[in-house]
Structure 1
Amino acid sequence: MVSDPILRALNRHPLDARATITLIVLGGTLSLMAFQGADLEVLLLNERSWKQRPWTVLTSVLFHGNAMHLGFNLLVLWQLGRVVEAIWGTWRTVLFLLFLAAGSNSAQWALSGPSVGLSGVVYGLFGLLWAASRWHPDKLGLLNPSVTRMLVGWFFLCIVLTETGTLRIANVAHGSGALLGAALGWSISGPRDRRGWRWLLFPGMTLLFVLAGQFGRPYLNFTESRAREIFAIGYNQEIAGQNQAALESFIEAIQILPDFEEAWWNRGVCLQKLGRSEEAEECFQRSRELGHKAEGE
């Protein structure tokens, strides 16, 4: 059962959940603008923006792939965010949201690829409330059982949909967000004099995920998405006449995705421009073989 102080907090006027409402308005507005074709690339995370526009690790979570994605995230954000804000206050909630967005999006970037949506933040709030209700006696019953079943079920369904190729979903953001939220809930539970070093866990994990995105991606990410990003870099280098740099990019892309037909062909083009004709012909032949294989399938 939820304690009386929490019930009184939740009975406040809905507009008192200022941080939650602000995030919903920002996410809804920017997503709808993007649906209408607005050019908002300056706010989206990609290979180039990660270093040139570091704020995109936060702003890219405000965009969504489609109306269903947007509606689901905003609905659950309202259900969970106002509970968190009622208990811990507006400014702490703002801090929680920023850390959850940066941490979950960085982990997704490090291990998979760019993504959009507030799902990592939503699962972070879920993890926070789950951990707090589990380890803090005064906060029992914070989560509606139906919401818990829905989010847990959706988490595993998303993995199945991704693995079967049905949908491309940011599962790393879901999982890392939930872990961060659970770490936060555990670290702020219990009497203050017994928390000790635990308060360092949440910011420490967030920093670790951000550093993984900033520096660890080349050593952690071996997905097709990463290979295609490297290929795009190589293609731009080739157009700019930087043939040696482009060649190295195409080789790196092939190391991640050995059957990358286009990368083999462009690798051959670069080798040809560098006067290495025999090696170029081997690459062209490999590209043709992969093309015939794809046609046969």
Structure 2
Amino acid sequence: MVPGEKIVMSAVLDFEWIMSSLRLALPLLLAAMGGLICERSGIVNIALEGLMVAGALCGAIVVHATGSQPAGLFAAALAGGVAACVYAVFAIHGRAQQVVAGAAFNMLAAGAAPYVTKALYGISGGTPSMESPPGTDGSGEVLLYATTALALALPFGIAWFLGKTRAGLFLRFAGEEPRALESAGINPASVRFGAVVASGVLAGLGGATLSVLLSSSFARGMTGGRGFMALAAVIFAGWRPVPAALVCLGFAGADAAQIRLQGGRHAVFGIALPVQFIQAMPYLITLVAIALRSGPSRAPRFLGRES
């Protein structure tokens, strides 16, 4: 290959990596922004993974039944919101330990999904693949690009909402000074409940991007821990929307890189890298990022605590 061809090939591969990173960042961005809203109100949302599973499953079921991707996304957002209501009842009104309640919710979602698909389709591994998936006429690409643009704009919108609006001020006070909110005649529990539901809508939509936009069916384990990665991004970014989005893009870039690296043999200092190590790269980077995070924590004062 001549030098000019190498340059062109490198540019093409780099462009493909960027586009792949943006696609893989889509579910992370939506889930992370949902988790950030929830946690800024003072509620720990370990349940992001389960909410993504609920959205991915319901979105795929509706698309399989109707053949409409927009309907699938709407159903996923609705399912995420309803599932978040269940979590909010236990975490807020039931005063359950939030980390335990979130972990239990994740296990419930992961365990219930195979039973739902078994009851509907006779298979426990997921929803059946469609012979003629919707969106193959180009409308799917348009919807994917529109959803990606929305996800990229969302962190800036949330930053404006938290910093410039009265409702955003109430949400921040619910996590920082809930007693001050009570003295103003506003119930912190109601604010937190709304924040949890909003996080469920976004996380459910994030899950649906995997089963509706990036594929045409739901598969068991397809969220792949992205809910936990999204929460890690929020923590690493100090509960700030735009930095959290940048961390999500970094995680997605690592994920896109490992997909490309699986296409050939790779070695570091003459030592061949096993494919399992390459596949684990995004998760290893997530753990390292959290472990190396330095500086004072910016967590809301009443995060995980009763007001």
TM bucket, shorter chain = 0.3 to 0.5
Higher relative contact order by CA 8 Å / sep ≥ 6: 1 or 2?
Answer: 2
Higher helix share: 1
- TM-score, normalization: structure 2? 0.32
Q: TM-score, normalised by structure 1?
A: 0.33
